[in-house]
Structure 1
Amino acid sequence: MTNPQASMTQEVAFGRAVAFWRGRRDLSQKQLAEKLTSQGMKADASAVSRIESGARSVRLVEAMLIADVLNLDLDAFTRFALTPAQQLHRLRRAADAAMQELESPLQRWLDGLADVKGFLDEHPHLVSNLPDSDGELRPDAPDEYFDWVQRRVERMSVSKLTAEELDTRLETEWIAVVPDVATRDELVAIAAEYAKAQILVDERRFRRNSEVV
């Protein structure tokens, strides 16, 4: 199948991005032109129309000014004007950066869960202190703690949101959206493997700690 983006010129891609964000800012072409003119870029509605159709090339300084006027980063426009190879490089770099940012908080979360489980193993009577939250009954024993946490996490699934709630989340938060269940399951497997890579199993260290009086 032919990718329509592949045959789109950079001018057209940039112009479509300008039209999209202008619409999101609820501005007419004339209003955007007036804002640009007030910032030193002489333009009228016709000039904005040519930019949005890709008929008029935009210099870097003009692109930066358009971004400023629409209160956006330049990347909001240029990412759609990249070549396919540039897009792939950008997407991979973004994914790698996000993975690195995830490493520390993921480790802290998993370590925190392990600490709670270990503490409950030492003080099983404290299981009754866990909350009955979101309709999920507390576990009856320490060995049920991780299952209890998993059920609570499952209740946070974005797939359980109403259409209105989902629209709100998509507007304000980053949510991974995939085309089918198979892709979701492959991503889940990758996430599970990444989480496993952040956990060190060291029985000797725990034995040493337990021997300390």
Structure 2
Amino acid sequence: MQSQQQTDTIGAAEQSFGRAVLSARESRRLTQRQLVDKLAAFGLAIDTSILSRIETGQRSIRLGEALVIANALDVELFALLGQTRSPVGEFHAARRWADSAELTLEEPLREFMNSALALRASLVETPGLLSELPEESQPADADAYLDWRSERTRRRLAELIQGGRDGIQDDRDVVFVQSRAEVDAVLALVRSYAEALIRFGDFVRLDD
């Protein structure tokens, strides 16, 4: 039979675990429904009411369930248990994070580049479409479109960051660096990834 102290210790641990799950879910911008769907894909069938009870420490958690929740949130189990990670553990966790992020980067980056090239191709075929661009400052011709869009994107993101509106909500939406050298290194990394997706040849429209 458990003593009151043991019961209190278990209860405190479950509440701590629940708060960590809630924090990890919110940091990933997942709703409870979305996390429940991810858990189902990992083989754990619970509903949002049970998840809510887990997050508030009102439901006991089994080890197997804890492992599935950690996997669905892409975090180490000991992080949800409030344990301190060693430098080696931090390194391998960061490495897994980078590998996972790289796998999800290819499609949206390729789609972004293809969509920009599709717009440029339309302007080459029909130069009069330049007047359809909403901004007051428009590119001089189709050849200047990509440079114009790059500058427009930089300006738009700068305004969002300064104003804290629309897409830029908090520090998680930007990348912090410590020096200009880090800026150059990160940009080189992104550039190398983008270049790996580019092939020379005639442009193929997305709907062809």
Q: TM-score, normalised by structure 1?
A: 0.55
Shift, 1:162, TM fit: 3.2
**Tell me, what secondary structure is at the counterpart of 1:156?**
helix
User: Aligned pair count?
Assistant: 151
Query: Which amino acid letter does the alignment assign opposite residue 180 of structure 1?
Result: S
Please tell me whether residue 96 in structure 1 is matched to residue 99 in structure 2. yes
Cα deviation for residue 115 of structure 1 reads 1.3
List runs of 5+ in structure 2 lacking aligned partners.
1-12, 24-55
Give ranges in structure 1 of 5+ residues lacking alignment.
Answer: 1-14, 26-34, 42-59
* Matches of 1:84 and 1:149, distance apart in 2: 42
1:75 partnered with 2:75: yes
Q: 1:139 to 1:156 in 2, by over 3 A?
A: same
Question: Relative to 1, partners in 2 of residues 1:88 and 1:159: Cα closer, same or farther, differing over 3 Å?
Answer: farther
Bigger radius of gyration among the two: 1
Secondary structure (helix, strand or coil) at the match of 2:131 reads: helix
Identity %: 24
Q: Residues 162 and 101 from structure 1, CA distance in 2 versus in 1: closer, same or farther, beyond 3 angstroms?
A: same
**SS of residue paired to 1:157:** helix
In structure 2, how many angstroms separate the alpha carbons of the residues matched to 1:78 and 1:170? 26
Alpha-carbon RMSD: 4.0
State the secondary structure of the residue aligned to 2:169. Answer: helix
Residue in 2 aligned with 1:118?
Answer: 121
* Distance in 2 of aligned mates of 1:151 and 1:184: 18
Please tell me whether the aligned partners of residues 128 and 140 of structure 1 are also in contact (alpha carbons under 8 angstroms): no
Deviations 1:107-150 (A, max 9, x none): 01101111111121111121111111xxx611121111011101
Mapped partners of 2:193, 2:186: distance in 1 = 10
Aligned to 2:140: 140
Offset, 1:74 = 9.2
| 1:161 match | 161
* Counterparts of 2:143 and 2:169, CA distance in 1: 34
Once residues 86 and 76 of structure 2 are traced to their aligned partners in structure 1, the CA distance between those partners, rounded to angstroms, is 15
In the TM superposition, structure 1's runs of 4+ consecutive aligned residues that sit over 4 Å from their partners are: none
SS, match of residue 179 in structure 1: coil
SS of alignment partner, residue 155 of structure 1: helix
* Corresponding letter in the other structure for 2:96: R
